[in-house]
Structure 1
Amino acid sequence: MTLSGNVFFQEASDHYDRELPFVVYKYPNQSHIHGLLQSSDQLHKLDHMEQEGFVMVPFIGKAEAVIIPKATSKELLCELSSVQNGPTTAALQLEYLDKQEHMALVNKGIKAIKNGSFQKVVLSREQHIALPDLDCIGLYKNLVLRYPHAFCYLWYHPKVGLWMGASPETLIEVDNQNVNTMALAATVGDIGQTEIHWGVKEEQEQALVTVAILDALKDYCSDIKVSEVQTVKAANLYHLQTKLTARLSGDLGGLVDKLHPTPAVCGLPKLAASDFILENEYYNRSYYTGYLGTLNMEQQAKLYVNLRCMQYLKQQLVLYVGGGITIDSVPELEWEETVNKGKTILNVVTGTL
């Protein structure tokens, strides 16, 4: 049964008020919003890829992977066209107290690349914004209406927390053994330019991501096809994207483990880059740059990288932003990229973009 937007979000809001787990989500370029409302506050672990429901997997550490099971949850559906904008929130105060800290981290990453430790590393930071009163439903409405091409979600579990985001990046979609994935890298802001000019750094970063994903697919897939590199837009940011298709001939769980974390959120080689991130970033990424989505529901897998996301924690909205570092990176420009990403997601959820 398809509900009106008002009824759909009232049910989700009532579930949140009762401190019960739920998720609302919309697939990219789709006209419906789905909901899954868990009947108890039990924390269900994701143990294997044959489970059915909505999964949330962290950047590192599968022990923290959780699922909202379809079998013990109520399913909701509403038309996107029946959803009204959330309220416009007063401009939130952004303070950039960690600029020098982040630039020092980028410099350290560049030095490690020059020393041969890895070819690329993705370095990130968190941005804390005081927000004593959270209207998570209102923020999500603004998000889902302004990011039609993204995977938009609002996820809550009382034993884990509240997360929200609009991911532009597909980790993997599998339907009847047909695989779709993408290599997404590089970022430039929309400043009204009529043509986007990408530099060598951005093109190399994109190529590295594409090659690594191809390497993962070849062990589990056949009939692999690669598109031309395209410029795509998400809100007021442009990225380079390559689409890849294939036929799944191996184990889905093995393929997902090989893909995650992708070079677009970790680096290359993956192990060396992830070790550097865990040793040098100033915080725990948790579910940022992990993956999330549905298993064995609408199709075998529809999983997305957890980017353009935020967490609500201790009366603060915590935004997560980062960028790919290569040998040609300039720390000041890398800092500006994170600022632009943070402003974009913040302006969207507050209704000012």
Structure 2
Amino acid sequence: MMVLDAEFFLREVANHYDQELPFVLYKYPNETKVSGLLQSSKTLHKLDHMEQQGFIMVPFVTKDKAVIIPKDISKEIQCELSAVSNGYSVKELLLEYPEKQRHLHLVNKGVQAIESGEFQKVVLSREQHIPLPDLDCIALYKNLVLRYPDAFCYLWYHPKVGLWMGASPETLIEVKDQKIHTMALAATVADQGQAKVVWGEKEKQEQAMVTVAILEALKDYCSAVEVSEVQTVKAAKLYHLRTKITARLTGDLGGLIEQLHPTPAVCGLPKLPALNFIQANESYKRSYYTGYLGTINMDQQAKLYVNLRCMQYLENELILYVGGGITIDSIAEKEWEETVNKGKTILNAVTGTL
């Protein structure tokens, strides 16, 4: 690992990007270093198994598009987060919401499906297209890592796939020395300066569903499972309910991940009918949104995160991805507001807003 000062680190990345060579920048939650892998060729490497080593990107459903930036053909670089300065901000963004009525209708349709017994919960999402002729992705990434120290912040680029960036609050799984850490993260309330967050029954039930489903997924692959109390945690300008879960891995990591992903926090419960509803009714393909990403077999461990609070940059457009968990108590207008609040994680970094 080559440790560089921040200015040289970012210049190396910019030169790599100018040559249209694949790379990823990433910062683990609450860590003080930003790391990078700069791939030496434009080859697109598929992820075939969890014994590979590098940084992986796995889509929501289609495993054939799972890719890796391999460590062994990449230059590893690192810099101190404290040396990173604010990046350039866009003065104004054209924010329009032509998809609002479609999303309200989708949420109501989801509630009706729950009422008719198809499933208990479904996570419904939308994409938002925002015109942006020029994007300084490195400047935006600087803003992300400085604003969201508690999140997993990444910038990923491959000329054959595109550019993705995000600040995820949710760990899918961390593994080191056969000990695993995961979490059940669900329910959302906006930070409005309240002294205390009051959670409704809808949010409590949503979070409990996620916890039970994750514990069910672990049972054939883990022993010594420990579950924390439910905690209120803050991510950017939002509060969530979180349960931390630890265990000892006794089975195959790849098999465990197959059981975990997609979790009820990004898909629904039961998984298969919720997934079928999503694919039949959402008006777009999620691609890497609500998939998972992170490092495998780097420093003898895996650190994987759910791809939330993310965006894609494509053909002079910023494409924002946001969603929320729908239960029988969901109100469409409130669910819409939740997606708008979640989108601000990326948008505030673009505009330089705190």
Task: Report the TM-score range of the alignment, normalised by the length of the smaller protein.
Answer: over 0.9
Name 2:105's counterpart in structure 1.
104
Name 1:149's counterpart in structure 2.
150
1:350 Cα deviation from its structure 2 partner = 2.5
Q: TM-score, normalised by structure 1?
A: 0.99
The reply to whether residue 199 of structure 1 matches residue 169 of structure 2 is: no
Name 1:260's counterpart in structure 2.
261
Name 1:276's counterpart in structure 2.
277
Q: TM-score, normalised by structure 2?
A: 0.99
1:133 Cα deviation from its structure 2 partner = 0.5
Q: Deviations over 1:152-181 (max 9, x none)?
A: 000000000000000000000000000000
CA RMSD of aligned residues (A): 0.7
* Distance (whole Å) between structure 2 residues aligned to residue 198 and residue 91 of structure 1: 34
* Distance (whole Å) between structure 2 residues aligned to residue 299 and residue 151 of structure 1: 19
Q: Is the 8 A contact 1:163 1:311 kept in 2?
A: yes
Identity of matched residues, %: 74
Structure 2 letter corresponding to 1:144: V
* Distance (whole Å) between structure 1 residues aligned to residue 307 and residue 321 of structure 2: 10
3-state SS, counterpart of residue 240 of structure 1: strand
Q: Deviations over 1:13-42 (max 9, x none)?
A: 111110000000000010000000000000
Structure 2 letter corresponding to 1:301: A
1:351 Cα deviation from its structure 2 partner = 1.3
Q: Deviations over 1:247-287 (max 9, x none)?
A: 00000000001000010000001111111101100000000
3-state SS, counterpart of residue 145 of structure 1: helix
1:122 Cα deviation from its structure 2 partner = 0.1
* Distance (whole Å) between structure 1 residues aligned to residue 217 and residue 345 of structure 2: 32
Structure 2 letter corresponding to 1:109: G
* Distance (whole Å) between structure 1 residues aligned to residue 93 and residue 182 of structure 2: 35
* Distance (whole Å) between structure 2 residues aligned to residue 171 and residue 262 of structure 1: 8
* Distance (whole Å) between structure 1 residues aligned to residue 244 and residue 44 of structure 2: 35
Name 2:324's counterpart in structure 1.
323
3-state SS, counterpart of residue 86 of structure 2: coil
* Distance (whole Å) between structure 1 residues aligned to residue 294 and residue 303 of structure 2: 6
Unmatched tracts of structure 2, length 5 or more: none
Moved segments of 4+, more than 2 Å: none
Name 2:93's counterpart in structure 1.
92
1:299 Cα deviation from its structure 2 partner = 3.3
Q: Deviations over 1:69-118 (max 9, x none)?
A: 00100000100011001012212121011111000000110011011111
Structure 1 letter corresponding to 2:338: E
Name 2:63's counterpart in structure 1.
62
3-state SS, counterpart of residue 45 of structure 2: coil
3-state SS, counterpart of residue 72 of structure 2: coil
* Distance (whole Å) between structure 2 residues aligned to residue 349 and residue 305 of structure 1: 21
3-state SS, counterpart of residue 20 of structure 1: coil
Q: Is the 8 A contact 1:142 1:350 kept in 2?
A: no
- Higher mean alpha-carbon deviation, 17-26 vs 83-92, is at 83-92
* Distance (whole Å) between structure 2 residues aligned to residue 134 and residue 166 of structure 1: 17
Structure 2 letter corresponding to 1:256: I
3-state SS, counterpart of residue 296 of structure 1: strand
